[in-house]
Structure 1
């Protein structure tokens, strides 16, 4: 299996390196990741500055750009198409509304846009503090890889995987979930630099609001690996008819 591996935490992040070590035991892996932390980059592309590819080791590269940039450049390194794109292991959850901002999910989604099945893998804290059980998340990926070809319409596959930050033996199983929702984020934090000028920090994300049974939040807190199928079509199909009726009452004309 030929795998293009990327992330948003950067080429030196422990998650991507642990996953690469696991994946090279079962396939041929090319790693292309940002040269710095690009968390929150979402699906952004670098369009106004040149991109540079830097080799760090055999089949390991960094790019001075976003996770989405990395997927585009990574595909250019293949003489033949890869079998899939994997993004991660992210140091922290990507659940609920997080997927709108996540560079981890964006790299996987770009792989899907370009025609390849894709996984986004994140290690989700079950309490406060930094995550550490990257081996658990790597083993989850190895368990799932042999089943990818059996996925219905695998060319359309984007699976968002969140793994509880616990030892492998403490996982309770695997669970298919939907995205939950968070409360609105905390307000912007205002501070001052050493010269007294205003600086601002984006506030932290809100706590889970919709975290009931069936959501990714609920599964992870219960000790299960959450697997959420995603798609790139943002159309709210259930609202098409109502929107058409609304437009008819607006009496607008081109």
Structure 2
């Protein structure tokens, strides 16, 4: 796709390092308009507002709202002729099927899919550590993510990718001097959330991140978490609508309801 019109959003906020790194990379292959949250909106899922305020920004628009607000405002009013929506680059991976619904980055791509606009969510894995927030402060750190995203924006639509899927969830490792290869993956189904009560508080724990810190993940080859842990860019092709299947057990309950 030559010179596509790109709507760029995220959930870390319009002034985040990863957002600017991705904006600058995409600006080399298309016309980019930023419609992104003014402030950090991480992990808000598909939350949305009834009304949002806009501020002019050197990259486009800063929105006092969520990533979903940004996509609806962008596609519905600000830049309705968008060819593709890109969300990111998120500082921190969005891997595993259980994470997809809570991620603001991924939710922006999902919202675009309902507009029937191709979309790519882009995130970067930061190795689990106590100081992960202090990492990835240089735009160059995001190069694996920006290289993959730019390549996919340039080629995926013409290749027919979005004739079969609604959006792509891309997760890249930190750049270490060599551009990482791409692997097409399936989101991991491994789930290990829990909670620990301490007096009047309950700590919500994601034990999978502790496993990733130790390098003891259970995922086999072909899954997003395995790819990212082994230094490859994970690209998961996904669909937006929830599936619905009729089956005998529920059909039987529905049929018997009138006799209760």
TM-score bracket, normalised by the shorter chain, equals: 0.7 to 0.9
Does 2:64 correspond to 1:64?
Answer: yes
Return the alpha-carbon distance in structure 2 between the equivalents of residues 19 and 201 of structure 1. 37
Aligned to 1:92: 92
Deviation of 1:251 after TM superposition, in Å, equals 2.3
Deviation of 1:102 after TM superposition, in Å, equals 0.3
Does 2:222 correspond to 1:214?
Answer: yes
Return the alpha-carbon distance in structure 2 between the equivalents of residues 170 and 4 of structure 1. 25
Return the alpha-carbon distance in structure 1 between the equivalents of residues 256 and 84 of structure 2. 48
Change (3 A) 1:153 1:89: closer
Change (3 A) 1:210 1:233: farther
SS, match of residue 68 in structure 1: helix
Aligned to 2:214: none
Aligned to 1:235: 243
Aligned to 2:253: 247
> Is the contact made by 1:180 and 1:211 (CA closer than 8 Å) also made in structure 2?
yes
Select which of 3, 7, 18 maps to 1:4.
7
Does 2:142 correspond to 1:134?
Answer: yes
Aligned to 1:169: 178
The runs of 5 or more residues in structure 1 that have no matched partner are: 192-197
Deviation of 1:62 after TM superposition, in Å, equals 1.1
User: Number of matched residues?
Assistant: 239
Comparing 23-32 and 147-156, the one that deviates more = 147-156
Aligned to 2:192: 184
> Is the contact made by 1:211 and 1:217 (CA closer than 8 Å) also made in structure 2?
yes
> Is the contact made by 2:11 and 2:88 (CA closer than 8 Å) also made in structure 1?
yes
Change (3 A) 1:190 1:2: farther
Return the alpha-carbon distance in structure 2 between the equivalents of residues 23 and 189 of structure 1. 45
The runs of 5 or more residues in structure 2 that have no matched partner are: 212-216
Return the alpha-carbon distance in structure 2 between the equivalents of residues 243 and 236 of structure 1. 14
> Is the contact made by 2:55 and 2:61 (CA closer than 8 Å) also made in structure 1?
yes
Q: CA RMSD in A?
A: 2.4
Aligned to 1:195: none
Return the alpha-carbon distance in structure 1 between the equivalents of residues 109 and 128 of structure 2. 26
Aligned to 1:194: none
Return the alpha-carbon distance in structure 1 between the equivalents of residues 95 and 241 of structure 2. 18
> Is the contact made by 2:144 and 2:233 (CA closer than 8 Å) also made in structure 1?
no
